Structure 1
Amino acid sequence: MLVSPNTVTFSVALPEGTLDPAYLDESGKVSVLANAVSGSMDIVTPAEVAALERLRAGDAVGVDGELLTGLLERGYVCTDAAEEEHRYRSIVDGYFEAIQQAPFQFMFIPSYVCNLACPYCFEGELTTKSPRMDEEMIEAAFDAIPMIQDLHENSGPPYITLFGGEPLLDTAYQRGAVEQILRGSYDRGYPVTAITNGVALDTYVPMLLRYGCEEVQVSLDGTPEIHDSRRVFRNGKPTFELIERGIDVAAEAGLRVLIRVLVDEHSVESMPRFAEFAQAKGWIDHPKIRLFNGFTKATTFLYVTPDHPEEKRRRMVRGDVKPGLQDAFFQMLKANPLVDRMLRPDPARIRAAVLEGDRVRPNLQGCSAGTSVVAFDPNGRVYGCPETVGRPQHSCGTFFPEFRYAGGYRDPWRHRHVDTVPMCRECNVKLFCGGGGCPIKAWAASGGDFNTCFCPKVSSIRTRVETELSYLLPMALRQRRDQVTRSEGEEGTWEQMTRVGSFPWMS
């Protein structure tokens, strides 16, 4: 009997009284087993963890037969290493085969110019002055789409995203360029989405509807006070009310609106007030509106080139979301259920497994930019990640005045996954992080090698999952207690689960 190499044990701190003390280890935490190949996740007792560790060491003597059967059924142990490897390979290979039929996103950047001056913008100086896509360039970008899909061996449906800078600028040029892109997409049967700051969204709604735009994404940074302290026009004037109006006009006209709420150490405590505002607006339950959160982050890695000295490369890549922000975010959520209802945060991608009984889904690729995203910029260049646009060292070709594809740069990135990065192959939490972290950061830190790893340390991957589990598990246990309906003397589901010493999230 062998422990599956994909079995992970997480140690989770829960509020006192959440579980029977029999589940607590010496540190007062509970252990959660998870296996993203079998899809299982279970709360286990210290005795069960000890038995699993004996099996891991090759000692099956004294392990209870009923427990062994349960571990085998849940996929935490196996009888044949080759068969387990086959199950793993079928998931990994099947995923990347599916990508070849998945939708492919093509982002059009009419110009880099933006009318806002957000201090954390990753495009920075690019937004003050920019060339423009003319009619010939826009047509050349459309012509490049089937060639790029052929190079990616992708047969999925293309879709177009308006991107910037700010794509929906209220200027004559921008309106003409956007309409040409929309019309070209409509004529070719390509769905369209838009990512916009939202300040002129209301004026674009008729045009977006005319050409069948599917959805728009806008950003708000919390309450008007927080938002208007940073997402402002270049002259310092506020934007919250304009964006609020744009959201309302778009949603009421029938467009789907995604509201991205950026959270950082300055805004996290204002989220409860913003949730109350969103609820009063009717946004939280609006059928056309969905709110989700992101974290502001450092983007110095975008300026790295492979010829920088190694220490400089690593220093510029190091750091992303500020330490402690995620913990502060979840602490705020615990005290404010309305914020959770508004955002439904899921940084470790386990929410559905914990709260809805879904299987644990393997995270085989941390970002779709490598395989199914391309951006066309107003310089005629092609980029594989929207955060890298405008940085020539990250260009993977040109679409104008001629089509060129930098296969030497793009192909290792496109084929990168949990098995191509040597450090990831032997890591049993790789299916919870996507394998190797951000490819661009890995490329930048290593001096130009995509098949290297630049991810948070394994300990911080564990911490990410454990932090989310410590937040979600009490919610799940409360839900299950509330749902237990039984006649007098009948043992309920919760009692059955805890009595057998496991928590079967999967049916």
Structure 2
Amino acid sequence: MSVTSDAPMATQQDWRVSRYNFAFPVSDGILLYNANSGSVIRFAGQAEIEFAWALTQWPAVLSSDVLSEQLLVQLRDSGFLVPEHSDELAVIRDRYWAARNEAPAVLTVTTTMDCNLGCYYCYESRSKDCLGEGDLTGLLEHVSTLIENGGKPRSSLHVDWYGGEPLLNMEFLDSASRAIQAYCLSQDVKYSASIISNGTEWPDDPCHFVRHHKIRQAQISFDGLKRNHDRRRRYRKGYKPHGEASSFELAIALVDQLLDATHVDVRFNIDKNNQDDLLPFFRMAQERGWFNRRFPMTIQPARLSSYSETSAFMRSHELTVDQFDKLRKEVRNEFGELVTVEESEVPDGYPYPRTSVCAALSHSSSVVGAEGKLYRCGLQVGEHGRSVGSLPRTSEPAGNKLSLPIIEDRNDEQWWANFDPTTQPKCSVCSFLPICWSGCPKKHLENDDHAIAEQGAYWRSNLPRLVADRVDADLVSLAPLSESLQFRSAFDGANPTCSTNAK
């Protein structure tokens, strides 16, 4: 690769190195990665390695006459160099708001807040609140509003059945599913669904159930192998089923059947007390053939933490980010590419710049609580002070026209409408911003500095690995990136210059 050239440039101007450039030493050179484009280039040879390091020295300026035109075009088109006076943050902001405006319609329906299991870490109220037949008309009105949001009809609707344990209200789920599917068919809107469940209340023919309700993905939760799972997920008084089957055995049998009918994400909840079950659980899943079925299973290791303002007690039970990452690394080392281990922070397995938003930020998404209130985030269901409106509830015949859901005048609703990661004080100057978009917005609403700091720690520890794995390179060092690379300060002097021998 030629670094310098005497050939005249088509356009003579100065270029600034991108704030989002990172360099990772590997066994055969160095990887230059740009978080705002997702591009990666491998450099080898002393001069090229020095040049790669120089390209990470934001906000250094480089004159176009020191590069061959071919290299300049490559670096410019890959986002490593930007025009000197360009605003990279504005580009990210435009992409973020485009994603919010173009997001598909997603409706989360909490059929009930009731649950048959008593998980110690549950952040939801276990009330008898549930949706009923009287809510169907209002729910369909709300569906219509979501699809027509902003005057630009959405071509698809995804419904996520949620709880509590959603299947404890099977009658409503069945009626609502059929009604929403019929409405979408009449409007030429593509329909799909998913469900989050503990796996203990399913019908005898689960494959028929998922086909009938067009469920393309089911999340079933586990808390370890049988001993830990059954101890941590005990049946609540009055809910224990007839027979000897434990909650673990019922969930295992369900996954065995579902993998022939739909995608199954097994969520493995981890804290300090059950972490030793993770690898044995993977081995059990492999022995049962879960990874080579018609719909190969995905396991989602989930670090139990304080998901809500009401579950701060979890701080003493949760693993640190480093401990959690170590467990996931052990799984990758043992199973390699044989299994899919999903990292919620990187759904695609590679740190591409974000082009989609959390459903809580979508203008066409909504969460319906079991009491009929509307929320932005599923983790807020049951926290009545966080609701942003209500479904209309009426005893009028279904054929009567109902008013659209009334949105209450609440500070939270305005906060969700205005949230922009590019205006957050720390996030706006963070070099991980394009691949993170501030992480969970709910943590910012609640000013959860602990969780926000953990998001940065994840990227400092894992970004080099994620990039190197994609191009099959061996990292020289596994040490985390420094905070000074995450939050880069301008050099002394108004106009620093980038040279090919910079370090």
Instruction: Please tell me whether residue 381 in structure 1 is matched to residue 373 in structure 2.
Output: yes
1:343–1:154 Cα change, 3 Å = farther
Matched residue type, 2:303? T
Q: Which residue number corresponds to residue 338 of structure 2?
A: 341
Q: Which residue number corresponds to residue 444 of structure 1?
A: 446
Instruction: Please tell me whether residue 74 in structure 1 is matched to residue 67 in structure 2.
Output: no
In the aligned structure 2, how far is the partner of 1:443 from the partner of 1:319? 23
Q: Which residue number corresponds to residue 186 of structure 1?
A: 181
Contact 1:54–1:60 (8 Å) recurs in 2: no
Matched residue type, 2:173? V
Question: Could you tell me how far 1:200 is from its partner in structure 2?
Answer: 2.2
The alignment's TM-score, normalised by the length of structure 2, stands at: 0.73
SS at match of 1:232: coil
**1:447-490 per-position Cα deviation (integer Å, ceiling 9, x unaligned):** xxxxx9972278525424336438836x8238xxxxxxxxxxxx
**1:212-262 per-position Cα deviation (integer Å, ceiling 9, x unaligned):** 33332211234333433323322688311111112223333x233332223
Contact 2:19–2:56 (8 Å) recurs in 1: no
Contact 2:34–2:79 (8 Å) recurs in 1: yes
Question: Could you tell me how far 1:424 is from its partner in structure 2?
Answer: 2.6
Contact 1:32–1:44 (8 Å) recurs in 2: yes
Q: Which residue number corresponds to residue 112 of structure 2?
A: 111
**1:52-99 per-position Cα deviation (integer Å, ceiling 9, x unaligned):** 2567444769977699636445321234433x64xx756653553354
Instruction: Please tell me whether residue 465 in structure 1 is matched to residue 462 in structure 2.
Output: yes
Contact 2:265–2:298 (8 Å) recurs in 1: yes
In the aligned structure 2, how far is the partner of 1:300 from the partner of 1:195? 16
**1:260-313 per-position Cα deviation (integer Å, ceiling 9, x unaligned):** 223334444433322222122221122224313142333264339xxxxxxxx9
Question: Could you tell me how far 1:49 is from its partner in structure 2?
Answer: 4.3
Aligned length: 431
Percent identity between the two aligned chains: 20
In the aligned structure 1, how far is the partner of 2:413 from the partner of 2:84? 37
What does residue range 348-387 of structure 1 map to in structure 2 within 5 Å? Answer: 348-349=345-346, 352-353=349-350, 361-363=352-354, 367-371=358-362, 372-387=364-379
What does residue range 417-456 of structure 1 map to in structure 2 within 5 Å? Answer: 417-435=420-438, 437-445=439-447, 455-456=452-453
In the aligned structure 2, how far is the partner of 1:67 from the partner of 1:317? 53
Instruction: Please tell me whether residue 303 in structure 1 is matched to residue 310 in structure 2.
Output: yes
In the aligned structure 2, how far is the partner of 1:458 from the partner of 1:375? 25
Question: Could you tell me how far 1:113 is from its partner in structure 2?
Answer: 0.6
Q: Which residue number corresponds to residue 489 of structure 2?
A: none
In the aligned structure 2, how far is the partner of 1:34 from the partner of 1:113? 47
> Pick from 320, 323, 331: which aligns with 1:322?
320
1:276–1:349 Cα change, 3 Å = same
Deviates more, 1:180-189 or 1:411-420: 411-420
Question: Could you tell me how far 1:204 is from its partner in structure 2?
Answer: 6.1
Between Structure 1 and Structure 2, the one with more helix by share is 1
Contact 1:107–1:375 (8 Å) recurs in 2: yes
In the aligned structure 2, how far is the partner of 1:147 from the partner of 1:298? 34
Contact 1:115–1:233 (8 Å) recurs in 2: yes
Q: Which residue number corresponds to residue 176 of structure 1?
A: 171
Question: Could you tell me how far 1:2 is from its partner in structure 2?
Answer: 3.2
Q: Which residue number corresponds to residue 472 of structure 2?
A: 476
1:321–1:158 Cα change, 3 Å = farther
The alignment's TM-score, normalised by the length of structure 1, stands at: 0.72
Q: Which residue number corresponds to residue 230 of structure 1?
A: 232
**1:180-228 per-position Cα deviation (integer Å, ceiling 9, x unaligned):** 1122122223433221111122436244433433332211234333433
Matched residue type, 1:280? E
Contact 1:10–1:33 (8 Å) recurs in 2: yes
Question: Could you tell me how far 1:318 is from its partner in structure 2?
Answer: 12
What does residue range 10-159 of structure 1 map to in structure 2 within 5 Å? Answer: 19-20=27-28, 23=29, 32-44=31-43, 47-52=50-55, 56-58=59-61, 69=72, 71-72=75-76, 74-82=78-86, 85=88, 89=90, 92-94=93-95, 96-123=97-124, 126-127=125-126, 129-150=127-148, 155-156=153-154, 157-159=156-158
Matched residue type, 2:16? V
1:328–1:194 Cα change, 3 Å = same
Q: Which residue number corresponds to residue 8 of structure 1?
A: 21
Question: Could you tell me how far 1:162 is from its partner in structure 2?
Answer: 1.5
In the aligned structure 2, how far is the partner of 1:193 from the partner of 1:458? 27
Q: Which residue number corresponds to residue 259 of structure 2?
A: 251
Deviates more, 1:385-394 or 1:54-63: 54-63
Contact 1:370–1:414 (8 Å) recurs in 2: yes
1:345–1:288 Cα change, 3 Å = closer
Contact 1:40–1:75 (8 Å) recurs in 2: yes
**1:152-188 per-position Cα deviation (integer Å, ceiling 9, x unaligned):** 666322222221100112xxxx232222112212222
1:415–1:423 Cα change, 3 Å = same
Question: Could you tell me how far 1:378 is from its partner in structure 2?
Answer: 2.4
Question: Could you tell me how far 1:120 is from its partner in structure 2?
Answer: 1.8
Q: Which residue number corresponds to residue 484 of structure 2?
A: none
In the aligned structure 1, how far is the partner of 2:217 from the partner of 2:455? 37
In the aligned structure 2, how far is the partner of 1:471 from the partner of 1:267? 31
Matched residue type, 1:215? Q
Unaligned runs of 5+ in 2: 1-13, 185-190, 394-402, 475-499
1:471–1:117 Cα change, 3 Å = farther
Q: Which residue number corresponds to residue 486 of structure 2?
A: none
In the aligned structure 1, how far is the partner of 2:174 from the partner of 2:435? 41
Contact 2:18–2:59 (8 Å) recurs in 1: no
1:153–1:291 Cα change, 3 Å = farther
Q: Which residue number corresponds to residue 413 of structure 1?
A: 416
SS at match of 1:140: helix
Query: Which of 1 and 2 has higher RCO (CA within 8 Å, sep 6+)?
Result: 2
Matched residue type, 1:165? G
CA RMSD of aligned residues (A): 3.8
